[in-house]
Every structure is written in C-alpha cells, then in structure tokens.
Amino acid sequence: MKIYSNELIFIEVEKSEIPWLKIFPIKKYKELSDCDEETKKELLNTMLIVEKTMLEYYKPTKINIAMFGNYLPHLHIHVMARFKEDSYFPEPMWGKKQRESKLNLPNFDGFLEKLLTKIIQ
C-alpha cells in the first residue's frame, strides 16, 4: 500500500507483524550510486525521518535498515522497527523464525499521521 509520494520518491507499507516501510525512488534506479544527487539525498533523508519517527512512536528494541533488491531490480530501502519479542528477533526478518509472536503495538494510523507531518514539514 502506497502511503506517500512526491516528485522524487514514494513510500509503501510492507504487510508484516512489525512496522515496516519501503522507500523507492520514482525513477527505476538499480543502485543508490545510480541515483541523481537530489533523489539520493531525498531517499536517505526520508530513511532518517522514518527511522526517527519509528523510534519515537514505537520505542522499538532496534531499527533495522536494508537495501537488497536481488529479486526486484528497483532500488528500495526497507526500514523496520524490531522488538525483542517479534517472531524473528534477533535474527533479521529474512532469517530463521525464532518464535510465535503476537505483538501489541500502538496504532499504525497514529504513526502514519506523525510520519506524514514530519515529511511535509
């Protein structure tokens, strides 16, 4: 689900038990180094805003960030709020499942409101 878009980037939500957003450049770049300077700056700046908002709102155990794109050759940045009781912690979300988990997290809509306020500031 797309939650934000401007002239350079857009943000999607990844369906998951954890808060997990993906930031894409609008133009289909493969690597961060391929991006024009303005897009690169916007991607990294948005990544930092998402991280900061997740830290403030969800108070996670750790933020995880990843840029893989091995399946989908369209650069994107995963930003994930991780909790010590989530199904994979301390493994990455791509690692071995550690437990059955039922997280009780603050409302996503509240997070989204805070995030969009920060982004359009």
Tell me which residues touch a copy of itself (CB under 8 A).
Answer: 30-33, 40, 44, 48, 51-52, 55, 61-71, 73, 82, 89-92, 94-95
Shorter beta-carbon distance to a copy of itself: residue 1 or 93: 93
Shorter beta-carbon distance to a copy of itself: residue 2 or 30: 30
Integer Cα distance of 89 and 17 in angstroms: 12
List CB contacts of 78: < 8 A, sequence separation 6 or more: 14, 20, 21, 22, 64, 65, 66, 67, 68
Shorter beta-carbon distance to a copy of itself: residue 1 or 99: 99
* Phi then psi dihedrals of residue 53, to 5 deg: -70, -40
